[in-house]
Chains A and B, each alone.
Chain A
């Protein structure tokens, strides 16, 4: 049972790479939002690959997490900016980046631990965009509904997971407990990835005529 998360983790790195590649196939064919999302997938895949490599050698990979959540915030904000067409999103993106930078300047030690406030803030903002996008899609058929569903499912639930991240660095927490909580997170991330795949498969696959 305890082995499963490790396997699931490996599959996720592989899936992240596959998703980035298949989305790149139609890169020039589809609109801006698609391009931004593809770049997001590529960056996330690279970060995951590096953290995976670090973890293999049991090096501390925690600082990559900052790259992960900040790039996620930037790309997701731009993605929703393209879908919602509201300049307010750019303003919030700017403000969010200022707040996170200020955090790092004021307390450089958080570079070596989970930035719980930063990640909670950025994920909550992205969840808000996803809900607004849902609302806008009630009566009209909009693109990226499956991705939006994935964002809602994964980003809401993972807020608490990442917010409690520092607890997992604590040496006294039993390994089993860490694994179980990690399993939940990985399972949800897997669902997110499957939804991203389905979005591609249903709407952006290059179909042979």
Chain B
């Protein structure tokens, strides 16, 4: 009995130590949890801030593009429509004046008709630039071909195109983004590149859609981010992001540029 008691009394400190260790262990788990959570929350917060910043930048670019577009439309309307309609109005009021000979009236009428035709042509051109009817009516490939034809008709460029695209692989609004990307690229080539040849291809396989654009113009230094932004590349990036595609851009000064847009089709 005595022996037994001695043994059990020895057990007591072991139990005490055990309980202390368990307290320590559970406190460690709790501490570990709270510290890890703090760290994770901090990184997530940083990530979210970056994301918001990115979105803000995207929004800003969109707004700037929108403003530019408005400015351009206003300019076009002012230069090509309003000024000419002013002349029409002037001529029309002349026709109404008393003492005008039929011959003069005829001349004025012919002038009015002539100007009206150019105004009509201008308004068609402006509307066309805003939203090409061929895209709506005949699809993406037709719209792209038209775009290339317009470029080719300037006789400054040699254009090679490859289109293997089945209509309606992409939804309509995505097709518009693809069209706008190409439009922007061609704009850049015309404005800055001083290129001789342009290659454009749009190919779709079962799983991927691949848009390739290349010119042999001036090119630019990729590290000069500001210049790249000026080229409307952020607009291209935004559009690619919206349709869920990735883009890769290659360019060097005096060595032209090429851009690939790849979208996985699911």
Chain B min CB distance to A198 (Å)? 14
Chain B min CB distance to A21 (Å)? 28
Report chain A residues within 8 Å CB of B168.
Answer: none
A157 touches B (CB below 8 Å):
yes
- Once bound together, how far apart are the Cα atoms of A167 and B18, in whole Å? 15
Beyond A134-B33, A138-B36, A170-B8, whether A153 also contacts B15 by CB under 8 A is no
Q: Is the CB of B23 within 8 A of A157?
A: yes
Binary per-residue interface labels of chain B (24-38) against chain A in the complex, 1 for a CB within 8 Å, 0 otherwise:
011101100100110
A2 touches B (CB below 8 Å):
no
If over half of B's interface residues share one DSSP class (helix, strand or loop), that class is named, otherwise mixed; here it is helix
What class of interface size applies to chain B in its complex with A? 20 to 34
Name the residue among B4, B37, B40 with the largest chain A CB count within 10 angstroms.
B37
A46 touches B (CB below 8 Å):
no
Q: Is the CB of B30 within 8 A of A153?
A: yes
Report chain B residues within 8 Å CB of A153.
Answer: 23, 26-27, 30
Beyond A138-B37, A161-B19, whether A177 also contacts B44 by CB under 8 A is no
Q: Is the CB of B5 within 8 A of A172?
A: yes
B130 touches A (CB below 8 Å):
no
Q: Is the CB of B40 within 8 A of A139?
A: yes
Report chain B residues within 8 Å CB of A101.
Answer: none
- Once bound together, how far apart are the Cα atoms of A160 and B24, in whole Å? 13
Report chain A residues within 8 Å CB of B5.
Answer: 172
| Listed A/B pairs (7) with beta-carbon separation below 8 Å | A137-B37, A139-B44, A152-B29, A157-B19, A157-B23, A167-B8, A167-B15
What would 8 more interface pairs be, CB under 8 Å, given A160-B18, A181-B19?
A138-B36, A138-B40, A139-B37, A152-B26, A153-B26, A159-B22, A160-B19, A180-B16
Residues of A within 8 A of B (CB): 131, 134, 137-139, 149, 152-153, 156-157, 159-161, 164, 167, 170, 172-174, 177, 180-181, 184, 188
Residues of B within 8 A of A (CB): 1, 4-5, 8-9, 11-12, 15-16, 18-19, 22-23, 25-27, 29-30, 33, 36-37, 40-41, 44
